Amino acid sequence: MGRILVVNAGSTSLKLSLVDEDETREPVAALAGVDPDGLDAVAHRVVHGGPDFRDPVVVDGGVRETIRRLEELAPLHNAPAVRGLDEATAALGGVPHVAVFDTAFHTTIPAEASTYAVPRRWRDEWGIRRYGFHGLSVQWAAERVPVPRLVVCHLGGGCSVTAIRDGRSVDTTMGFSPLEGVPMATRSGSVDPGALLHLLHAGRLDADGLDQALNHESGLAGLAGTPDVRELEARSDENAALALAVFSYRVAGAVAAMAVATGGLDALVFTAGIGEGSALVREHVCERLAPLGVELDRALNAAAVPDADVSPPGAPARVAVIEAREDVVAARAARGVLAGR
């Protein structure tokens, strides 16, 4: 099967790329510019599959409607995915469209890690559990660094840390929604639910205001006024320093927790915009992880261009910077589904 158009509609960006059988890719600026000749399928990255989708699926009216209903679980992500699906279907209706879900890779997480300690009705009837996200990115990183005990830091607009044991996800920081876990560009990450209940009960915020604040006004932007790590690194004020310190501290703590799930640490991967682009963040995170055998070669780290190792030879744990290639994983999944039709 030849070329696959991959539509990656994230919370902060829309990326389009054509992926050939040899997994080379060509960025695409707009759907209107895609020539359907030679195009075999369109693969859509969908963040939240909920309890309904555990595998890639050819999109029909029922699948689209289910993805739309799942917007309530991930409104920042599934809503753009539905818009991308509608636009691509209108422009390229003559080829099959396949939905590939970020949550699918995390279906291997054991119950002890995926289960929240909440009432049974929440879990059984309302589907409250840890789903996990960034699955396509994490899967690619796990393939590039195939060690038994791996932790992947996907640090971009959204941020998560995932434990991989023998190629399978066994725990991750994002949970029921992409809001849980470490701080992100504009998202808070985990916050004491008691603080949130206090704000609601005290009338300081209503549910919509709380949603807006946690998803759009928190994280690095809430700490220092900008979600851009490059701007923070260029500043010398206390707020910028605090934002970077909070971020690196929480990421390092999450890596340590994930190392418990993997039973140790053979390798640590940094990927996505911040993970690939910020040598300073990698340095600060790794400094905090020295007790786990994590070492960084500062010269290699400063000059790193993905894919690259940034740990010294013979270090107990390998540290690698890997380019995020969600498009390749999505294209592979689409080919696999269509080959089995």
As a whole number of angstroms, the distance between CA 157 and CA 118 comes to 29
pLDDT number for residue 14:
76
Nearest to 4, CA basis, from 14, 23, 19: 19
pLDDT number for residue 246:
98
pTM of the model: 0.93
pLDDT number for residue 2:
77
pLDDT number for residue 86:
85
pLDDT number for residue 32:
61
Q: How deeply is 156 buried, as exposed, middle or buried, from its count of CB atoms within 10 A (0-12, 13-18, 19+)? A: buried
CATH class of 3-104: alpha beta
At 208, the amino acid letter reads: D
Residue range(s) of every CATH 3.30.420.40 domain in the chain: 3-104, 135-321
Q: Which residues contact 182 (CB under 8 A, 6 or more apart)?
A: 159, 160, 161, 173, 189, 190, 247, 250, 251, 254
Please list the active-site residues. Answer: 102
Helix H, strand E, coil C: the string for the chain is CCEEEEEEECCCCEEEEEECCCCCEEEECCHHHCCCCCEEEEEEEECCCCCCCCCCEECCHHHHHHHHHHHHCCHHHHHHHHHHHHHHHHHCCCCCEEEEECCHHHHHCCHHHHCCCCCHHHHHCCCCCCCCCCHHHHHHHHHHCCCCEEEEEEECCCEEEEEEECCEEEEECCCCCCCCCCCCCCCCCCCCHHHHHHHHHCCCCCHHHHHHHHHHCCHHHHHHCCCCHHHHHHCCCHHHHHHHHHHHHHHHHHHHHHHHHHCCCCEEEEEHHHHHHCHHHHHHHHHHCHHHCECCCHHHHHHCCCCEECCCCCCCEEEEECCCCHHHHHHHHHHHHHHCC
pLDDT number for residue 10:
66
As a whole number of angstroms, the distance between CA 2 and CA 240 comes to 47
Q: Is residue 62 a contact partner of residue 8, using CB atoms and an 8 Å limit? A: no
pLDDT number for residue 12:
61
pLDDT number for residue 33:
67
pLDDT number for residue 11:
60
Q: Which residues contact 51 (CB under 8 A, 6 or more apart)?
A: 127
CA angle 246, 196, 114 (to 5 degrees): 75
> Which residues of the chain have a pLDDT value below 70?
1, 10-13, 30, 32-33, 341
In tens, the pLDDT along 151-200 reads 999 999 999 999 999 999 999 999 999 999 999 999 999 999 999 999 99
The residue to which tokens 């013979």 are assigned: 314
Tell whether domain 135-321 is in CATH 3.30.420.40: yes
pLDDT number for residue 274:
98
